[in-house]
Amino acid sequence: MGKLGRMRIAVIVADGFEQSELDVPVAALRESGVAVDVLAPDEAHHRHVRGEAGGRETAGVQPDRLLADASPGAYDGLVIPGGIESPRAMRGSDLHLHWVRNMVERGRPIAAICHGPWLLAAADVVGDRLVTSHPDCRDDLERAGARWVDQEVVVDRGVVTSRRPQDLPAFVRAYIDLLEREYLELACPPAPMQEQPIDGGAVQLTSRGTAPSLP
């Protein structure tokens, strides 16, 4: 098991997701030891969600759970693959938008690629945040307050975004790097500052809980 073995990540999709934008991140996360749950949008898709690649239907995915049966608080992060149909459907879903907002409010790392950032705009969580995406999403993101750039990957305040399947290597690497930093902060939080009296009644703040040596 990798060093991220205590983490659990949710992946949200609907029919028409881009197959590689699910398969590649999920495989990399599991290789790093992360537990990954693909969440079905509704009961009608609890056995299968249809994927696509280049406009053609693909094998899709068998979800692990229903979104309605899961709680965002049980997950350490969220991945939103692209494709056109999938993000379009999810941005009209109050439950999907609730998940996105909950993750941002809790400071959990989010990764969205291609048209996936549409959900970030619809959830109104991109205000003054630097992002990228498929160019089709640019106007919606900027109307939601984002600062859009055209580059393979952008990381800003816990949100990783990329433009297209060709950016997947950089996208996955950036997200796993973000998760590793998150894991280290959870595993090794900084020691609290403590007040220590020294000569003359002054107080010295230290992070180790001990006063510095006096001459």
Residues labelled as active-site residues: 114
If you write DSSP's letter for every residue of 26-52 in order, what string do you get? HHHHHHTT-EEEEEESSGGGSS-B-EE
Torsion of CA 156, 7, 36, 123, to 10 degrees: -40
Q: Could you give the residue ranges of the DSSP H alpha helices within 106-154? A: 117-122, 138-143
CA gap 167, 163 in Å, rounded? 7
